[in-house]
Chains A and B, each alone.
Chain A
Amino acid sequence: MKRKITLTVNGKEQELEIEPNRLLLHVLREEIGLTGTKEGCSIGVCGACSVIVDGRLVSSCLTLAAGCEGRDIETIEGLAKDGNLHPLQQAFIEYGGFQCGICTPGQIMAAKALLDENPKPTADEVKEWMSGNLCRCTGYYKILESVMAVVNNKISPDFQFRKREQQAKIQSLDVYKPVAKTD
């Protein structure tokens, strides 16, 4: 028997009709189309499916969507605002906090939950907090470095991803005349 539920996902209300046996992970991915949240181990060990529900970091693979009626859910897709990365996202790029990237949404959500609660954790506190988010590529050193870079305010103030031009002028082709330029 399907149930109607309303979730607030990244600030937007979502009305859904779901079977009670649906997991939050699958509802986010399949019903709402937010595939940033990943499934790694399916048993709450690896943390790839970490999301924040009512301010608490949880495994969405062990959360029934039906139990989330009325709750506020944050996923990786809600972090960047208007194309501006969250400081943690920026730090993971600057400090190489990922390789294949499959665990990265979970790592970043876990770090965000920590910094929301404790903006100045020590490296040991970060390790303890993040140890439930498994990564098979990095050996974790750069993940820790990335999180600590945010804690210690070491991310570049003028970060721009790969120096993408936001307002490039496209050269008109019909008036194009090839000439050498001078400084």
Chain B
Amino acid sequence: MVKFDYFEPKSVEQACAFLERHADEAKLIAGGTALLIWMRMMLLNPHVVVSLARIPGFDSISFDPKDGLRIKAGARHRDIELDPAVREHYPLLYETFRKVAQPRIRNMGTIGGNLCQGDPLTDPGASLIAMDAEITLTSSKAKRTLPLEKFFVDYYQTDLRPGEILIEIRVPLPARPLGWAHIKFLPRSQEDFATVGVALVLRGNALGKRRRSCAAKRSPMIESGRWRRWPRMKSIPWMTTAAPPITNVT
């Protein structure tokens, strides 16, 4: 690993200022589970590392019935998994986050870091897209909010612009009843990255047709995320054999 300067800003504004100042040579670190591997492999060699770990409230999760779920980018996967509101109102997210890697990595990796890495092999993206999540990004110049699915561009490529920090993920409260599933296909070890991850949401009237399962699968209400790309699929013929049983209704 190269030598670098290390900063721990105490506010998002400060962090943005650091990013601005060290434009090309700085990297943000949150959980570090991906960044440090790349740095150890000398694939990334930043001269400045800005840690977001000491920004007060940057890991908070809050829920409001009208506003939905607001997850600050510094929340760790395990914080989300263990959050009572997530468990109660967003069972799909609970099921997804409890399956991310294993507890040690969930204790470290943050949702913001995960999304910004743009790694299609990881689990949260698909479920959050399926739940209509939107994200807020900020820089010292501007703040913007966009749907998560627009954020993902390609393998390891996102719409994150220079100087920007992902600060929040908002997930609207889903309509009830809600049918949902998240599965990932692990051909080798249970610890592997998924070959395919599928998140599926059925809302409102689509649920009534659930018994006509094939029809339900073609319903425009179904959304999913898929390996290597992040499409919000309107129809998913490839799933006709591997679809999970939609048994979870809340």
Whether A and B touch directly in their complex, counting CB atoms under 8 A apart, is answered as yes
CA distance A131 to B29 in the complex (A): 26
Number of chain B residues whose Cβ lies closer than 8 Å to a Cβ of chain A: 27
Residue pair B108, A110 in contact (C-beta under 8 Å): no
Residue pair A20, B49 in contact (C-beta under 8 Å): yes
Interface residues as binary, A1-12 with B (CB distance below 8 Å gives 1, 0 otherwise): 101000000000
The residues in B between 76 and 107 inclusive whose CB is less than 8 angstroms from any CB of A are 78, 101-105, 107
In the complex, which range does the number of interface residues on chain A fall in?
20 to 34
The residues in B between 145 and 164 inclusive whose CB is less than 8 angstroms from any CB of A are none
Task: Kindly report which residue of chain A lies nearest to residue B51, judged by CB atoms.
Answer: A67
Residue pair A62, B33 in contact (C-beta under 8 Å): yes
Q: Contacts A20-B4, A45-B191, A132-B102 given: A64-B107 contact, CB under 8 Å? A: no
Task: Kindly report which residue of chain B lies nearest to residue A57, judged by CB atoms.
Answer: B104
Task: Kindly report which residue of chain B lies nearest to residue A66, judged by CB atoms.
Answer: B6
Q: Contacts A43-B37, A62-B37, A132-B191 given: A21-B4 contact, CB under 8 Å? A: yes
Q: Which of A19, A42, A69 makes the CB contact (< 8 A) with B40?
A: A42
Name the distance in Å between B121's Cβ and chain A's nearest Cβ: 13
Name the distance in Å between B22's Cβ and chain A's nearest Cβ: 14
Interface residues as binary, A124-138 with B (CB distance below 8 Å gives 1, 0 otherwise): 000011011110000
Q: Which of B6, B53, B105 makes the CB contact (< 8 A) with A20?
A: B6
Residue pair B191, A62 in contact (C-beta under 8 Å): no
The residues in B between 179 and 207 inclusive whose CB is less than 8 angstroms from any CB of A are 190-191
Residue pair B104, A47 in contact (C-beta under 8 Å): yes
Which chain A residues border B101 with CB–CB below 8 Å?
A: 132
Query: Does A147 sit within 8 A of B, measured CB to CB?
Result: no
Interface residues as binary, A111-143 with B (CB distance below 8 Å gives 1, 0 otherwise): 001100000000000001101111000000000
CA distance A43 to B3 in the complex (A): 19
By Cβ-Cβ distance, the 3 closest A-B pairs, closest first, are A132-B102, A20-B6, A56-B107
Which residues of A are at the interface with B, using a C-beta cutoff of 8 A? Answer: 1, 3, 19-21, 23, 42-45, 47, 50, 56-59, 61-64, 66-67, 69, 110, 113-114, 128-129, 131-134
Please name 10 pairs of A and B residues whose Cβ atoms are closer than 8 Å in the assembled complex, sorted by A. A1-B5, A3-B6, A56-B108, A57-B107, A59-B108, A62-B32, A63-B32, A114-B103, A131-B191, A132-B104
